[in-house]
Amino acid sequence: MCWRLGLLPNLSTSSTPDVPVAGAVLVGYSVALSIVVNRLGLRNCWRYLAGSVVVLATGWIVGAKFFAVDLLLLPLLLSGSLSLLFTQVDRLWSLDRQFARTLLNAPVTNADSIVGANERLASGLKLLNTVLPLNEAVVFTCAESNTLEPVVRYKSPAPNPQDPRRNAVWREGVRLCQHAASTGKLMSHKTQESATVAVPLLHEGETAGVLLIRPGSEFSDDDIPLLEAVGSQFARNLKRESFSKNPARTQSLNYFSQTGNKRKLDALNVLKALTVEQRCEARTLAHIEDGIAIAYLDGTLALVNPSLLLFAGLNSDKAVELDLFGLLHRFRTDVFDEPEIAVRRVLQTGVAYEGELNFEHKNQILNLRISLLRERQREPIGIAVYVKDLTAQKEYEKLKSDMISLMSHELRTPLTSINGFAELLTQDQTLPPQAREFVSIIANESQRMSRMINTFLSVTQLERKDKQEVLKIPLRLDEVVRDTIASLQPVAKKKRIRLIEQPAHRIPPVAADRSLIMQAVKNLVNNAIKYSPERTTVTVSTALEAETVRVCVEDRGYGIPAEAKERVWDKFYRVVREGQEKDEESTGLGLSFVREVVEQHGGQVELDSEEGRGSKFSFTLPRL
């Protein structure tokens, strides 16, 4: 129309630029376009492209109309379009290479299971045989040429006696399998003597293989869901196996290759199969009695199991709106009053937080654990919250300790009389010497027994006390140490042990019950003397540490084997040492008393020991 109306000049009369100039302009324009597209992307640069076309067209009209020069609009547009096309293809191609590399490596790195596919198939057939007795079962895989290849076979140990129709039956089975593979539907063929069933192994709508079975008992339609469920697991195994067996050829031309793209699809399917299997693990958590929640590192909750919801007093609708802190705030108590600090410490140090939470109004004691989840022991990927109900266990422990202390009380009365009368008899000069000896043994042993019962009672009584119940007054630990050392010097001297105090300056007082702390230090020093050879040194020191005061008893004695270190604090636990005869005074209660006293005062006990070289028992108490 423009030409008809005479708006556009006649091109046949225009001159064209020289070939080198035209070539340079075409190349320059194409290169400029490709740079712009590479930099900005096709979508972002369309305004520039349209602008350049408008400028070119205007220039061309002006050139042709006023200067009779053809400015090569069509070649420019053509070269520009080609340049755009190639640039875009190149960009997509390089992205595709990156995508293929990530995708094809993903299933391999994700596969944690080391059990091979064939073993898993064989195990699957065994399981199937347990729930549905089989005469024979074969798993076929679909090979590339759409033929079926048997991979695993199961045969009942007591097969039918030589069946003359075996080959015909086999052919019939294979035909049934081909039919099942092509239609994707379960096929069965029943005769009077037996049934043959072909189950297509479907994964993501694709047939990975076929399971052919000849059930031992009668096959009913109720068994179909079972076969389909086992079949889907078989399909996942086959897909994974065929993917790992079929290595990628070249990745550079994947973008244009059908096989290459199919392989990417396979990789995606294998990944999906893995996700299905991993979902099994997550589903299991729903059925356990302990509370479990998993949160991602952005605080979103990935999973909260019903038990945890119950502990938190929430219903599942509320849980959807919660994040990690919202959930943890439901467990706030005086010992766990700032969940943010606990989580921050876990993230900073990687060390799990653990605390015992007592909800008195609900009469419930819970153990709470917050730990960091790591991907293959390295990168943090989430936070796990684990809650266990200790109420029943604590009640049981209390009942046990109540019973034991009741029994001990009952034992004390007859023991006192035994001891009293035995002591009286030892004074009786009319008794023959041997009888007197026996009586004095009775007196000593009954005394030892009442000492044991007394220590035991004091430990159990302490255990049942609340922290507030212990009478606390300001107490200088260095003075307690000095007094204890003075009272135990005679015992140390008997064994020629040097018992010394390491001088300390300016030790602040602590809030404590003097007699309990004194007894605890006495137990530690007594042990140090008891479990050290003659002519060694026992050092007792007091030191100020940030917010606590530490008392440390160090000896050069027998030491404690590594495996016993945790247990020495337990009631009645005694370390068995070769060549050391049984100590009359040893009850295994001394250290548990120390721990109980220290914990009642809000402190902590510590043990550092090396067998044969000595031990260092210490405890800390909060300073005033």
Q: Is 575 in the site for ligand ADP (CB under 6 A)?
A: yes
Q: How far is the CB of 596 from ligand ADP (least distance, A)?
A: 11
Q: Provide the residue count of the chain.
A: 624
Select 200 or 590, whichever has its Cβ closest to ligand ADP.
590
Tell me how many residues contact ligand ADP (CB under 6 A): 21
Binding residues among 328-347 for ligand ADP as defined by CB under 6 A: none
Separation of alpha carbons 195 and 569, rounded Å: 67
DSSP H helical segments within 428-513, as ranges? 433-464, 477-494
| Interface pick for ligand ADP out of 242, 269, 615, 618 (rule CB under 6 A) | 615
Q: Contact at 8 Å (CB) between 462 and 596?
A: yes
Separation of alpha carbons 93 and 113, rounded Å: 33
Binding track, positions 140-179, relative to ligand ADP; x by CB under 6 A: ----------------------------------------
What does the CA dihedral 505, 511, 513, 514 come to, rounded to 10 degrees? 20
Stretch that binds ligand ADP, among 98-106, 202-210, 313-321, 568-576 (CB under 6 A): 568-576
What is the number of the residue whose Cβ is closest to ligand ADP?
Answer: 590
Q: How far is the CB of 574 from ligand ADP (least distance, A)?
A: 3
Q: How far is the CB of 595 from ligand ADP (least distance, A)?
A: 9
Binding residues among 521-550 for ligand ADP as defined by CB under 6 A: 523, 527-528, 531
Q: How far is CA 296 from the centre of its chain?
A: 13
| Interface pick for ligand ADP out of 80, 231, 557, 603 (rule CB under 6 A) | 557
Return the sign of the alpha-carbon dihedral for residues 112, 234, 276, 294. negative
Stretch that binds ligand ADP, among 115-123, 311-319, 431-439, 573-581 (CB under 6 A): 573-581
CB atoms within 10 A of CB 535: 10
Q: How far is the CB of 385 from ligand ADP (least distance, A)?
A: 36
Q: How far is the CB of 390 from ligand ADP (least distance, A)?
A: 25
Select 262 or 498, whichever has its Cβ closest to ligand ADP.
498
Q: Is 561 in the site for ligand ADP (CB under 6 A)?
A: no
Select 59 or 561, whichever has its Cβ closest to ligand ADP.
561
Select 37 or 589, whichever has its Cβ closest to ligand ADP.
589
Q: How far is the CB of 622 from ligand ADP (least distance, A)?
A: 24
* Nearest alpha-carbon partner for 474 in 508, 506, 504: 508
Q: How far is the CB of 447 from ligand ADP (least distance, A)?
A: 16
- Residue 106 sits at φ, ψ, to 5 deg, of -60, -50
Query: Could you give the C-alpha distances from 391 to 310, 363, 365, 388, in angstroms and in order?
Result: 15, 8, 5, 9
Stretch that binds ligand ADP, among 312-320, 349-357, 376-384, 558-566 (CB under 6 A): 558-566
Select 97 or 616, whichever has its Cβ closest to ligand ADP.
616
- What single DSSP character describes residue 468? G
Select 331 or 593, whichever has its Cβ closest to ligand ADP.
593
Give me the half-sphere count of Cα atoms (radius 13 Å) on the Cβ side of residue 450.
15
Select 322 or 525, whichever has its Cβ closest to ligand ADP.
525
Select 186 or 591, whichever has its Cβ closest to ligand ADP.
591
Instruction: Give me 102's structure tokens.
Output: 């990530």
Select 436 or 574, whichever has its Cβ closest to ligand ADP.
574
| Interface pick for ligand ADP out of 148, 357, 462, 560 (rule CB under 6 A) | 560
| Interface pick for ligand ADP out of 136, 266, 478, 555 (rule CB under 6 A) | 555
Helix/strand/coil percentages in the chain, nearest 5: 55, 20, 25
| Interface pick for ligand ADP out of 179, 272, 369, 574 (rule CB under 6 A) | 574
Q: How far is the CB of 529 from ligand ADP (least distance, A)?
A: 8
Binding track, positions 585-604, relative to ligand ADP; x by CB under 6 A: -xxxxxxx------------
Beta strands per DSSP E along 97-205: 134-142, 148-155, 187-190, 195-203
Separation of alpha carbons 619 and 139, rounded Å: 66
* Strand 510-512 with 473-475, pairing: antiparallel
Long-range own/partner contacts, residues 419-422 (CB < 8 A, 24 or more apart): 419/443, 419/446, 419/447, 419/450, 422/446
Q: How far is the CB of 396 from ligand ADP (least distance, A)?
A: 24
Q: How far is the CB of 523 from ligand ADP (least distance, A)?
A: 6
Q: Contact at 8 Å (CB) between 33 and 49?
A: yes
Select 261 or 539, whichever has its Cβ closest to ligand ADP.
539
Residues 599, 600, 602: CA angle, nearest 5 degrees? 60
| Residues whose CB is less than 8 angstroms from the CB of residue 150 and which lie 6 or more positions away in sequence, other chains included | 138, 139, 140
- What single DSSP character describes residue 500? E
Select 478 or 596, whichever has its Cβ closest to ligand ADP.
596
Q: Contact at 8 Å (CB) between 128 and 223?
A: no
Q: Contact at 8 Å (CB) between 366 and 374?
A: no
Select 83 or 587, whichever has its Cβ closest to ligand ADP.
587
Select 340 or 610, whichever has its Cβ closest to ligand ADP.
610
β-bridge mates for residue 242, sequence order? none
* Strand 134-142 with 206-215, pairing: antiparallel
Q: Is 484 in the site for ligand ADP (CB under 6 A)?
A: no
Q: Contact at 8 Å (CB) between 230 and 186?
A: no
Q: How far is the CB of 530 from ligand ADP (least distance, A)?
A: 6
| Interface pick for ligand ADP out of 243, 311, 558, 619 (rule CB under 6 A) | 558
Residues that bind ligand ADP (CB under 6 A): 523, 527-528, 531, 555, 557-560, 568, 573-575, 586-592, 615
